[in-house]
Structures are given as structure tokens and as C-alpha cells.
Amino acid sequence: MTALYPIQDVFTRGEISPRLHARASLDFYRAALAKCENFVTLPHGGIRARGGSYFVNEVKNSARKTRAIPFIFSSEQAYCLEFGDLYIRVYAYGARVGTVEVASPYLEADLFDLAYVQSADQMWITHRNYPPKVLTRTAHTAWALTDFEFLDGPYDDINTTSTTLTPSDTGHLTPDMTSNTTPSGTASDGGGSANAWAIFDRDKTQNILISGGGDGYVRFRNAGGAQRVVDAYWVTAANQATRAFDYATAWEIQGSNDGTNWVTLDTRTGEAGWGNGETRYYEFTNANAYEYHQFVFSGGGGDDANNTYLAEIAFHIAATDQIPFDLTASSAVGINGGAGFQTTDVGRAVRLLGADGLWRWAKITSRTSTTVVKIILYGHALPNTNPVTRWRLGTFVPGKYVEAGSLYEERLAFSRRFSVYASATGDFDNFALGEKDDDALEFIQAGGGQANDIVWIADSDGALLIGTSGGIRALSGSGLDEALTPSSFKNRRSRTFGCARIRPVDAGQSFLYVTRSRKSIAELTQTSTSKFTSDDIGQISEHIPKQGVVELAFQTDPDPVLWFPLENGELGGYTHQPSQEVRGMHRHRFGGTFAGSGWPIVESAVVTPGQNGVDDIWLVVKRTIGGVTRRYIEIMTTPFEYGLLEDAFQVDCGLTYSGAAVNVVSGLGHLNGQLVDVLAGGTVYRGLPVASGQVTLPGGATAAKWQVGLPFQSEANTLELDVGGQDGSVIGRRKKVAKVILSLLETDTTGLQVQSFIRGRWESVRMPSIVAPDGKAKLYTGNVDVPVDDSWEGQGRVRIRHVNPTPCTIRAFTPVFDAEP
């Protein structure tokens, strides 16, 4: 029989499913492996042992599950957040940020259902059972978690029951005046009139003379020297404004604390064309409190050049400065399904249609009973305290809070069940609906024809992607390159897989997301404007994601790799460069163990930009150390490339020492009782014990550079190659491997071993010429021949493993074997 030399120089399809191990006719077969563990498939074709993991810190409470979440301000300022039971801690570039710890409401059981969206120094965090929160960074060590307040919306449907809501106050700066000094405060005008109070008497049907000429002022001084913040007002023209009266056409709203020195709060000009009894509403930004407020006017727009009349002026006390007042329901009908107001309604919005036909909104500050709550009023003062028949309660209550978020076209968008809510353009707090292009939006039944819950939303080119349990839809403007507005939108369905409630990732040319079963990963690609399709990227490696995907994190540098923790504790990897047909999955088992499993449990993984231009992969890893469960935050280190051997970091949960040559290093308390591998000065030491946080080199050896940590090994198993048959395929025919030729790049061959599938003996790569006289390993690039002890039952397959804490890159391998003719 003639010896065969079938080279495999491409591994870009990674580890494929056992169901495909006999499918040699498939195009990808010769680019695949039966096993790819702790090796990463490279876009260039080869495989490389993954980098080790650097120990950062133990989580606050190792007894409880912990999640990592990225906070990325920019490529130069990036953080990893440790979300634990009722707290958040902050890390950056391999270390905890001071003693920063923020109290949070999130329980351990809810951590992996949290959704988040970030813009600059703010992150909005959502969960169906928690009111939305905002995490804000004001400095490197200054972080705060606060409630996110939806301004004026969204709301449930308008009340259609007979229940009315009666306010006990109106939000006016002035009381209902009956004279210039009663019931409290002082009203005055520029003419010294005894009737100045009438402009503040809640009667909008009058003709009040406020000046005998075309200019003047109307003033109010708060009782007792009280200072109040005003942020809005409305003006009502005289009920005969179009007849023989003048009306104000230009004015300033001014504030003062001494009645002499005035600050302009708002200015208006060109306010002409008033109708009889017309009311106009004005708002401005102000946070300063004043004892005096005045309306200083000029101009004139009627037939009388000597007399200026108005009917009413109403200043609104800013909600932040109001004393909460009662809102009383006539019954519990229509409120929380007939249960009336609940304690959980505190913080909920209420919209009220005033007697003047203007909607206001309020926030519930406390609950007195099922029919009485206290509120603060936003926007404008109510015209009176009459019962309100048309009202709407805020949509969000416990169990019905928003669930996911995204930024899209300068809007902050959230989803809940079948609906999408988007803020006003450039105003992330404002969810007041309207008809203008930049007003807030609300889309109901965004899940499409089926009643499928929305599980995530994400910004994509030209569309807001809506991931539902039944598939993906695209929400966008109605025309090509047209912005999404209340009057211009389309909601398109795409033929895609249903989605799990796991945040998708942007992989450059496409989106990657977890399907509804959590047992496969799909790639979403755009086929045309607002049209998408999805494919199962893991179909040929289905056995890996079938372990159950926990979350996704995408690394772009140095290689494009998707990382995904699995429910069995492994870390899945997927090298993704579709433009080069690179789509290969691999599995990773980290050093150490967890009780009941042969490897530790990777619970969470996120990616942030690193300081050296390479992405940091943050991990939360659960191990059993000294009989106790420990959860550690670790960073997977940059893979070894073109460096010095002594700098290679190929251990897990490890640390580095660099300094004077020493025989003992300390600071390893997190690994007490464990056996570790050490790369010290280029020499490999395996299985050294850690005691009292220290490890000692045998024989009194010293080194100035140490890499110390838990060992792991990388293993690749080949498939049966189908080559050389005289009468067809040789799959299934007996084969015997005589040797393997490996093409290596920067590899420590002293840790490289090969084994046949039948014989149990591992054959080491014997190349004494690359070991220096001092015993230190050297990196080798080139081809090596490794004899293999095989039998005719081996099917021509071999195992390759690397066991040292040193680099290993395999560019190609060639099994030399004989096969039955």
C-alpha cells in the first residue's frame, strides 16, 4: 500500500457536530475538527492555544451568582461593572476602581434578565419588575444609580368609566385672589390699581384693565417672603380682545428677591392676533426661586391705544418645588382593574385633561388610600379644582415596566410586551406623544400578526430591529432614508428565527443573536432596505450551543470572535469573519474545577476596549477553592503573538511577577491549596503547590519574571480524512497512521504531544535542539515529524494536545498513513 500525505492547512470551521463526522463530501469537512478545546480557530486558517485568564478580584459575595456588564464611554474609557445581589462594583483595565460600590435594587435571581442601553456617561437599566434606573458616571470614582423619570408618558388608554379625579390644588403660584392681599400674598400693577388681584382670580371670562397705556406690569409677591421656582405660565386675553381693547404683544417674565433687582426668566415678542378669551401657554427652563414674579409688557394690538386688558395670568410652580396635594378618585373603578390606587403606584404618572382642554401630567408621590393619592403637577397650572373626567394612568407598574432599550435616530427607545416607546428626538426623558416629527412615538403590537413578546430592540442601519419570540421585525421611516416619525413609519416582518431574551451583538457586517430555545445562535443579515434574513451559524457545530447559551459578547481585536458562556460551564467561542468564509466554533474549559464538574463554571462574559488596542474579555468564573465556592473576576489575556517566551501568559486565574530574581512569590491567596503551573524566566514548572498565598521554585531556582496560575491544556482531534481511494471514498476503511507532520508557529514543542485514537500512549515532540543548554524552552517555527503508535483500527485520526503554560500555534498537520485499497 502507498503511504498517503493528506495535508490539512485550514481549521476555519472549528469543532463540528458528531452528526457530521462521516460527511466527508461536504465542502467544509476538510477545514474542520472533531474537537477544538482551548484552541481558537484563526482567520488565517490555523489554530492557536487561547490566552490564559488574569485574576482581577473576588466578587463581593461568592455565594451568589454575579453578572458582568460593560460600560463603554469611549475606546479610551471603558469599564466592567460587577452586578451582584443588591450592589454594583466598578472595574477598569484589570483592577477595581477604588472602593466604588453602588447600592442597587436588583436581586440575584433577576441579574441575567436585566437589559441596558448606554449613551456617553449614562446607562439606562431595565427589567419588567423594576422601575427603570439610570447609572451615571460623573468622574472615574463617582457613580450613582437613580430613578429614570419618564416625562409625560407613556400612558394607558383614556378613562371611559364614570370615575372622576378631583385635585385639591392647581399648581398655581398665586392663590385664588379676592383682593390685592387676600387670601395671601400681594398683587399689584404699574398703575396702582386696587383691582390688580383680579388677574389672578381664576376667572378667564373677564376684561381686566392692567394699564391705562400700552405698557406696564402685573406683579405678585409671595406671602411671608417665601421664594418659589416658576417654570411655566399661561396668559388669557380679555373676552373682548378683538373689539376696543389693546392687548399685550411683547413681554418679559421677571423674578426678584427684593422687588428692585429683577432677573428675566422668559421673553416673548410678536404675540399678535389674539382672539376673544384666547389662552396661550408658555414654558421656560428655570431652577431659581424668587419672592416676586412679574409680567412686564409692552405693545398693543387692539383699537384702543390707551388701555391694555387681559383676563388671567397663571404662573406654574415647578414640580420640584411644589408641595404635593391630594388627587381624589370618586371610586376605584377603572384604577388598577378596580383595586384602586396601590402603594406600587408611587412614582406613577397621571395625565389630566383640564377644564381648558389642555392635558397636564402629574406624578404620584404617595398613597393615602385606594381612592386618594398625593401628586405634583408638571407643565402648567390647572385652571380650577373641578373634577377631571378624562384622565390616563401611566403605563408602567410592577410586572409591567419596560424590558429592553436601544438608541435610534437620536431617540431613546424602550419595549414592553407588544409595544415600543421612543422618546422625543434629542430629549431622552420626554415621552409625551404628539404629531410633530420630533415628538415621542408609541407603537402598539409591534410584534406583528402573532402576539409574540418583544424580547430585545437594537439599532441597525436604517431600522430599529425588534426581536420577538416569533421572529424579527424592522421599524423605520416609511420612505427610503426617511426618518422615523409619528406620521412616517413602517413595521416590516422578516423571515427569521424567534429570539431569546438575550442581548444581541453587532458583529460588524451582521447581528448575532440567540434563538428562542437558547440552544442555537443565528446571524441576521440585511437583504434589502428594512428586510432581513437569519441563518443558524452553529448548525454544523450544533452540539456546542445546545448546552444552553447564557449571553453573548463580541470581540473585534485581535481577531473577530464571539464568546458565549454555556449552561454547562464551558465558554463557547465562534471565530466570525464571513467575508473570508471563516466560521468556526470552539470550546474552552478553564483551569481548576467546581464541585460536581470537571471544570469551573464561566457564568458571565463581556468585552470592553483594552488599553493596548486589544479588546479585554472579562469573565466571572466559579470554582471550588479549598472546599469553598469562589467567584472570581478574570480577564482573558491577549493571545501570544510575536513576543518573548517569558512574557507568554498561558495559565488561568493567574498573576504575573516582575522584578528582582526571587525563589518565592506571594500574593496568591486566591489559589491556596491549588496546584499551579509556573513559567519562570522561560522555564516551565508544573504542579507546584500554593500554601499561605506563596509558591516556591524547586531546587532553589530564581527568576525575575513569573507567570503563575492554574493549568489548562489545549486539545484538537482530527476527523477521518477522505483521500487516496482508488475506487471511491476511504471513509470507514481501515487505516494506520505512521507519523504526523506538524507545521508550527512560535510553539513550545516540549509541551506538544500526539496520540492515535486507538493507542493510549501520547507521543511527545522530540526536538532537543530547540531546548537551550540552561534547560529553558524555546519557541519553534517550522515543520516537525512525530511518530505515532497506531493500529489498523485507528481510522487515520489523531489527537493533538499542548500541556505546558507556553504558546502553541498549529498552522497545518499532515498525517502519514496507509489505507486499505
DSSP string, 414-456: EEETTEEEEPBTTBTTB--B-SSTTSBEEESSTT-SS-PPEEE
> How many Å apart are CA 701 and CA 711, to the nearest integer?
20
Can you name the residues that pair with 271 across neighbouring β-strands? none
CA distance 727 to 821: 8
- Architecture of the domain whose range is 14-50+715-819: Sandwich (2.60)
Most distant pair of Cα atoms in the chain: their distance: 122
Assess whether pLDDT exceeds 60 at residue 129.
yes
Backbone angles phi, psi at 251, to 5 degrees: -165, 170
> What would the mean pLDDT of 657-686 be, rounded to a whole number?
96
pLDDT at 447: 45
Q: Which segment of 46-55, 187-196, 436-445, 550-559 scores lowest on mean pLDDT?
A: 436-445
Overall average pLDDT of the 774-780 stretch: 72
d(CA 209, CA 432): 37
pLDDT at site 450: 67
Tell me what pLDDT residue 769 has.
46
* Percentage of the residues of the chain whose pLDDT score is greater than 70: 92
14-50+715-819 and 186-320 share one fold:
yes
Give me the mean pLDDT over the 338-357 stretch: 93
Rounded Cα gap, residues 519 and 564, in angstroms? 11
What pLDDT is attached to residue 617?
97
Give pLDDT, residue 474: 87
pLDDT at 736 over 80: no
| Residue of higher predicted confidence among 266 and 433 | 266
Say if residues 653 and 55 touch (Cβ distance below 8 Å): yes
Other beta carbons within 10 Å of 258: 9
CA angle 664, 667, 671 (to 5 degrees): 100
Question: For position 772, what pLDDT does the model report?
Answer: 54
Which range is least confidently modeled, 271-280, 392-401, 763-772?
A: 763-772
CA dihedral 658, 663, 669, 671 (to 10 degrees): 90
Residue 75: is its pLDDT beyond 90?
no
Average of per-residue pLDDT across 527-547: 85
- Statement: residue 727 has pLDDT above 60: no
pLDDT at 209: 86
Q: Report the candidate in 591, 517, 604, 590 with the shortest Cα–Cα distance to residue 553.
A: 604
In the predicted model, is pLDDT for residue 120 greater than 70? yes
Please state, in angstroms and as integers, the Cα–Cα distance from residue 665 to each residue in 262, 633, 647, 657, following that order.
Answer: 71, 21, 17, 7
Pairwise CA distance, residues 124 & 118, whole Å:
6
Contact 130, 145 (CB under 8 A): no
Yes or no: say if 400 and 450 are a contact pair by the CB < 8 Å rule: no
Which pLDDT value is given to residue 703?
A: 96
**3-class state of residue 763 by DSSP:** strand
- The residue-averaged pLDDT of 644-654 equals 95
Mean pLDDT, residues 603-607 taken together: 98
From the list 402, 256, 387, 233, the residue with the least C-alpha distance to 310 is 233
The pLDDT-based confidence of 29 (bands split at 50, 70, 90) is confident
pLDDT at 659: 96
Q: For residues 354 and 172, what is the distance between their CA atoms, to the nearest angstrom? A: 14
For 112, residues 6+ apart whose C-beta sits below 8 A from its C-beta are 65, 67, 550, 551, 604
Torsion angle defined by CA atoms of residues 14, 20, 26 and 31, in that order, rounded to the nearest 10 degrees:
20
Domain ranges of the chain: 14-50+715-819, 165-170+322-393, 186-320, 405-500+503-536, 652-711
**Phi, psi angles (nearest 5°) of residue 712:** -140, 160
Peptide bond into 805 cis (omega under 30): no
CATH T-level topology, domain 165-170+322-393 = Thrombin, subunit H (2.40.10)
The number of C-alpha atoms within 13 Å of 153 and in the hemisphere containing its C-beta is: 22
**Regarding predicted confidence, which is higher, 455 or 528?**
455
**Cell numbers describing residue 33:** 475538527
**3-class SS of residue 248:** coil
Q: Which of 104-118, 197-211, 337-351, 729-743 has the highest mean pLDDT?
A: 104-118
Tell me which residue has cell 382670580.
Answer: 201
What's the mean pLDDT in 325-348? Answer: 95
> CA-to-CA distance for 579 and 557, rounded, in angstroms?
16
pLDDT of residue 150: 84
Helices (H), 34-84: none
Q: How many CA atoms lie within 13 A of 641 on its CB side?
A: 11
pLDDT of residue 794: 58
Which pairing describes strands 32-33 and 14-15: parallel, antiparallel, or unpaired?
parallel
Q: How far is CA 703 from the centre of its chain?
A: 44
Q: How confident is the model at residue 4 (pLDDT cuts 50, 70, 90)?
A: low
**At 620, which amino acid appears?**
V
What's the CA gap between 257 and 221, in Å, rounded?
Answer: 9
User: pLDDT of 263-290, one tens digit each?
Assistant: 999 999 999 888 899 999 999 999 999 9
- 623 or 484: whose pLDDT is higher? 623
Cell numbers 465542502 correspond to what residue?
27
Give the three cell numbers for residue 454.
418583544
pLDDT at 467 over 50: yes
Which pLDDT score, from 0 to 100, does residue 117 have? 97
Across residues 768-779, what is the average pLDDT? 60
Residue with cell 503511504: 3
Closest among 599, 581, 705 to 652, alpha carbons compared? 599
Can you give the pLDDT at residue 19? 93
For 698, the 3-state DSSP assignment is: helix
- For 340: left if phi > 0, alpha if psi spans -120 to 50, otherwise beta; the answer is left
Structure confidence by residue, pLDDT tens digits, 785-795 = 888 876 555 56
For the CA atoms of 575, 577, 583, 589, the dihedral, rounded to the nearest 10 degrees, stands at: 0
Answer yes or no: is pLDDT of 448 > 60: no
Q: Which residues contact 139 (CB under 8 A, 6 or more apart)?
A: none
Band of the pLDDT at 605, cuts 50, 70, 90? Answer: very high
Q: Which CATH superfamily is domain 186-320 in?
A: Galactose-binding domain-like (2.60.120.260)
Per-residue model confidence (pLDDT) at position 212: 77
Q: What is the DSSP letter of 488?
A: B
Looking at residue 445, what is its pLDDT?
A: 64
Query: What is the grid cell recorded at 560?
Result: 473577530
Q: Which three cell numbers stand for residue 703?
A: 527568576
Burial (CB count <10 Å: 0-12, 13-18, 19+), residue 438: middle
Is a pLDDT exceeding 80 seen at residue 662? yes
Residue 645 reports pLDDT greater than 70: yes
Mean pLDDT (the chain) is 90
